[in-house]
Amino acid sequence: MPDAGPQRQRATGGASQDAAARSAAAARQADHESIDRLTEELLPALIAKLGTTHLGELEVREGDWHIRLRRPYGTAPGEGRRSTDKPSRSQPGHEGHGHGRAAPEGYRGGRGAGAGAGPGGPSGTTAGTGAASASTNGTGGGEERTLDKSRVIATSPAVGIFQPGARAASGTRVRAGDSLGAVNVLGVPQDVLAPVDGIVGATLVESGVAVEYGQELIRIELAGSGSAAGSGPAAEAR
Amino acid sequence: MFRRILIANRGEIALRILRACRTLGVEAVVAYSEADRDSLPAQLADEAICIGPADARRSYLSAPAVISAALVTGCDAVHPGYGFLSEDETFAEVVRAHDLTFIGPPPDVLDRFASKEGTRRLLGGFGLPTIPGSDGMLRDDEHALAEAERIGYPVLIKPSAGGGGKGMRMVRTSRELESAIKICRSEAKSAFGDDSLYLEKWLDDNRHVEVQVAVDRYGAGVHLGERDCSVQRRHQKILEESPTPALSAEARATLAETAVRAVVSAGYENIGTLEFLVDGDGNAFFIEINCRIQVEHPVTEMLTGIDLVALQIGIAAGEPLGLRQSDVKLTGHAIEFRINAEDPAHDFRPGAGVIERYHAPGGPWVRMDSHLYPGYEVPPYYDSLLGKLIVWGPNRETAIARGRAALEELLIDGVITNIDIHRALLENDTFLEGRMTTNLLDRVGGAAFLAAAGARG
């Protein structure tokens, strides 16, 4: 999802069409926002939580949603291997609509003629989150969205200038809460923290660049996921 | 003039400032919280930057976040709007320390007028009639009791910091006073981080009248007439108009001239509003000054034809006022209706939700300042103001008639609104006769007020 280049795009059809699009989008907005919140805030928090406990499974309910997180297969007693638990209203097709809330993004640049921050639906930046299904278990299943969920993004804690630290180097093994760098706010560095245990992947913003609050900075490949191969990361999650 | 301004606010005022920037040919960057990502000002800005989470303490009230945002987006000035950081002299000072301009009074001027009680004494010294009040801040219960006794009950307990009617309480007896002070202290502490309180004489059946002034860096100042803000609920204004029906033309002119003379003498700079209580005999008592643009500024714009936000920006940029008092012409009558997401039938309980349908009224001399659009989600975290409907007419009767028509046309579906209370006000004899006082609504409550209007209609 962050690969999509989360730029908002101005709908080209003018104000009335924008309004219609917004109106239609509004109905799905609540769903998307719940999904976004689940995946961007709750899920990383839960993963970290699970890693610090001896529990095999965590489940959280909120409104119409529930999210269940299971420890990777074989790492906890009595754990199953299937990942059929999904948010009860998951709709795998949702990503196609492109009505998702924009993921945190770089502050929007000055708009040229007709381009820039538009009121229309942002361009599908939350693809896949509709069926996130909290599949952190190692079975993967080759689903794209599961792969997506094998990564968690460390985001900016503040608006300022980004400075990656030594632990931001790709391939570094980190634990939840480790500092990956800092965002400099009026001379005061604020730590960018690893949201989960895992392996540092790509750094999405260059050193010295201005970032906004919540902007995606560093990708963390989750322990136990397909992309962080091997049994080590799975054990790490414990 | 500035090249690029950071707007550190949200909602309708962020949009209003953005429009002023466009008119002036200045670029505008909107700083928004995560809850306002899809807001109209963030969408329409030349650039928008997320400064923090929904919690205002970590976004709109965070001086480091706002200033950092201004720096990384290449702004040379910060417009704080109203509320939030708009009258925070420390913020203004830090803004200046980063070679940015705070759009409002300079930090030393804000500092001079920071204490309401101190301001009352300062301007009282320059000839403004002031409301009787306590001698300085209340030190303890004993001091409070003695001062209340001296001033005479009823008295109003007021926090020195803040505004918007928060943390204020009127008491009629010494017994009430002690417990009310405890509540006010804790409210003021949590709302403004400052629990200093003072006392003011409470006038039953008072009217609220305020004078708009503008003073440049070079000491030239004008007043732009007054506004009547007597229609309130729980000390918060919901309808404002100008001219005030409470005073004669001569009394209005005298009040406004006295006000501008006093603030110029006291070294005020930029636009500001002096608030007065007016008693039943037409005596005006100064209570406080607001060193910022106010919610109800459009009322004055309609009468004068002067863009107050543009004027405010110009003064902050060091431009001369370019206006003499004789250039300020106050024409006709204007009324502003604050449209809030709140339920007048249930104690003005605030609401939130997604705007399903929205139609702003139009026609001649009708203005709607609002950040709403269909599909917009009104977040629950901030104040309940959805927009302001402003109408103008050559006289009060015509303005009221246009107000009725415009309120009839205004359509907001999806959240509860207070539109009905405005419709009821325009059918209320006390209001129609211009005799309203600040307790017009609170005396009976919103529900009873609506019911009375319904029974008549």
Whether B181 is covered by a domain: the verdict is: yes
Domain boundary among B174, B201, B228: B201
Q: Is B373 in contact with A212 (Cβ distance < 8 A)?
A: no
Q: Is A119 in contact with B43 (Cβ distance < 8 A)?
A: yes
**CB neighbour list of residue B269: distance below 8 Å, 6 or more residues apart:** B105, B106, B109, B215, B216, B217, B315
Whether B49 is covered by a domain: the verdict is: yes
Give contacts of A108 with chain B, Cβ < 8 Å. Answer: 47-49
- Other beta carbons less than 10 A from residue A78's beta carbon: 6
Prediction ipTM score: 0.88
Selecting from A108, A118, A213 the residue whose C-beta is nearest the C-beta of B51 gives A213
Q: Give yes or no: residues B314 and B372 share one domain.
A: yes
User: Is the link from the previous residue into B154 a cis peptide, with omega within 30 of 0?
Assistant: yes
Q: Give yes or no: residues B12 and B70 share one domain.
A: yes
Selecting from B47, B69, B374 the residue whose C-beta is nearest the C-beta of A23 gives B374
**CB neighbour list of residue B49: distance below 8 Å, 6 or more residues apart:** A107, A108, A159, A212, B29, B30, B31, B32, B69, B72, B73
Q: Give yes or no: residues B195 and B214 share one domain.
A: no
Q: Give yes or no: residues B16 and B86 share one domain.
A: yes
Whether B53 is covered by a domain: the verdict is: yes
Q: How far is A37 from chain B (nearest CA, A)?
A: 12
Q: Give yes or no: residues A144 and A159 share one domain.
A: no
Q: Give yes or no: residues B285 and B376 share one domain.
A: yes
Instruction: Give the structural domain span for B372.
Output: 207-456
- Scanning B96-125 for CB atoms below 8 A from A yields 98
Q: Is B45 in contact with A117 (Cβ distance < 8 A)?
A: yes
Q: Give yes or no: residues A3 and A18 share one domain.
A: yes
User: What is the predicted pLDDT for the residue at A88?
Assistant: 32
What domain count does chain B have? 3
Whether B438 is covered by a domain: the verdict is: yes
Instruction: Give the structural domain span for A230.
Output: 151-238
Phi, psi of B142 (to 5 degrees): -65, -45
Give contacts of B6 with chain A, Cβ < 8 Å. Answer: none
Angle at A94 between CA A91 and CA A96, to 5 degrees: 145
Q: How far is A109 from chain B (nearest CA, A)?
A: 6
Give contacts of A118 with chain B, Cβ < 8 Å. Answer: 43
Whether A161 is covered by a domain: the verdict is: yes
Whether B116 is covered by a domain: the verdict is: no
Whether A185 is covered by a domain: the verdict is: yes
CATH number for the domain harbouring residue B254: 3.30.470.20
Q: Give yes or no: residues A29 and A133 share one domain.
A: yes
Q: Give yes or no: residues B93 and B139 share one domain.
A: no
Give contacts of B40 with chain A, Cβ < 8 Å. Answer: 119
CB-based contact (8 Å) between B172 and chain A? no
Q: Give yes or no: residues A167 and A235 share one domain.
A: yes
Q: How far is A196 from chain B (nearest CA, A)?
A: 21
CB-based contact (8 Å) between A26 and chain B? yes
Give contacts of B356 with chain A, Cβ < 8 Å. Answer: 26
CATH number for the domain harbouring residue B56: 3.40.50.20
User: What is the predicted pLDDT for the residue at B135?
Assistant: 87
Q: Give yes or no: residues A47 and A125 share one domain.
A: yes
Q: How far is B399 from chain A (nearest CA, A)?
A: 31
Whether A233 is covered by a domain: the verdict is: yes
pLDDT tens for each residue of chain A, 238 residues long: 333 333 333 333 344 445 445 555 555 666 666 666 666 666 666 665 555 444 555 555 655 555 555 554 333 333 333 333 333 333 333 333 333 333 333 334 333 333 333 333 333 333 333 333 333 333 333 333 334 567 899 999 999 999 999 999 999 999 999 999 999 999 999 999 999 999 999 999 999 999 999 999 999 998 665 444 433 333 333 3
User: What is the predicted pLDDT for the residue at B161?
Assistant: 78
Q: Is B47 in contact with A107 (Cβ distance < 8 A)?
A: yes
Q: Give yes or no: residues A203 and A157 share one domain.
A: yes
Q: Give yes or no: residues B391 and B427 share one domain.
A: yes
Whether B122 is covered by a domain: the verdict is: no
Q: Give yes or no: residues A71 and A7 share one domain.
A: yes
Whether A113 is covered by a domain: the verdict is: no
Half-sphere exposure of A104 (CA within 13 A, CB side): 29
Q: What is the dihedral of CA B142, B144, B145, B149, to 10 degrees?
A: 140
pLDDT in tens, A10-47: 333 344 445 445 555 555 666 666 666 666 666 666 66
Q: Give yes or no: residues B182 and B232 share one domain.
A: no
Q: Is B68 in contact with A185 (Cβ distance < 8 A)?
A: yes
Please report the DSSP string for B250-270 in residue order: HHHHHHHHHHHHHHHHTT--E
Q: Give yes or no: residues B67 and B152 share one domain.
A: no
Give contacts of A102 with chain B, Cβ < 8 Å. Answer: 37
Q: How far is A186 from chain B (nearest CA, A)?
A: 6
HEC string of chain A equals CHHHCCCCCCCCCHHHHHHHHHHHHHHHHHHHHHHHHHHHHHHHHHHHHHHHCCCCEEEEEECCEEEEEECCCCCCCCCCCCCCCCCCCCCHHHHHHCCCCCCCCCCCCCCCCCCCCCCCCCCCCCCCHHHCCCCCCCCCCCCHHHHHCCEEEEECCCCEEEEECHHHCCCCEECCCCEEEEEEECCEEEEEECCCCEEEEEECCCCCCEECCCCEEEEEEECCCCCCCCCHHHHHCC
CATH number for the domain harbouring residue B157: 3.30.1490.20
Q: Give yes or no: residues B34 and B67 share one domain.
A: yes
- Other beta carbons less than 10 A from residue A10's beta carbon: 17
Whether B424 is covered by a domain: the verdict is: yes
CB-based contact (8 Å) between B377 and chain A? yes
Q: Give yes or no: residues A158 and A138 share one domain.
A: no
Give contacts of B48 with chain A, Cβ < 8 Å. Answer: 107-108, 117
Low-confidence ranges of chain B (pLDDT < 50): none
User: What is the predicted pLDDT for the residue at B204?
Assistant: 83
Q: Give yes or no: residues B263 and B357 share one domain.
A: yes
CATH number for the domain harbouring residue A177: 2.40.50.100
Count Cβ–Cβ pairs < 8 Å, chain A vs chain B.
90
User: What is the predicted pLDDT for the residue at B246?
Assistant: 96
User: What is the predicted pLDDT for the residue at B89?
Assistant: 93
C-beta of residue A163 within 8 angstroms of C-beta of residue A181: yes
Catalytic positions of B are 292
Whether A174 is covered by a domain: the verdict is: yes
Q: Give yes or no: residues A234 and A130 share one domain.
A: no
Q: Give yes or no: residues A7 and A63 share one domain.
A: yes
Give contacts of B373 with chain A, Cβ < 8 Å. Answer: 19, 22, 119
Closest-CA residue of A relative to B72 is A210
What domain count does chain A have? 2
Q: Is B65 in contact with A215 (Cβ distance < 8 A)?
A: no
User: What is the predicted pLDDT for the residue at A167?
Assistant: 95
CB-based contact (8 Å) between B69 and chain A? yes
Q: Give yes or no: residues A16 and A40 share one domain.
A: yes
Q: How far is B446 from chain A (nearest CA, A)?
A: 32
- Scanning A62-121 for CB atoms below 8 A from B yields 101-102, 104, 107-111, 117-119
Q: How far is A45 from chain B (nearest CA, A)?
A: 17
For residue A176, CA distances in Å to A76, A153, B9, B428 come to 20, 12, 34, 63
CB-based contact (8 Å) between B59 and chain A? yes
Q: Is A186 in contact with B67 (Cβ distance < 8 A)?
A: yes
Whether B127 is covered by a domain: the verdict is: no
Q: Give yes or no: residues A237 and A166 share one domain.
A: yes
CB-based contact (8 Å) between A189 and chain B? no
Domain boundary among B53, B87, B103: B103
Q: Give yes or no: residues B189 and B265 share one domain.
A: no
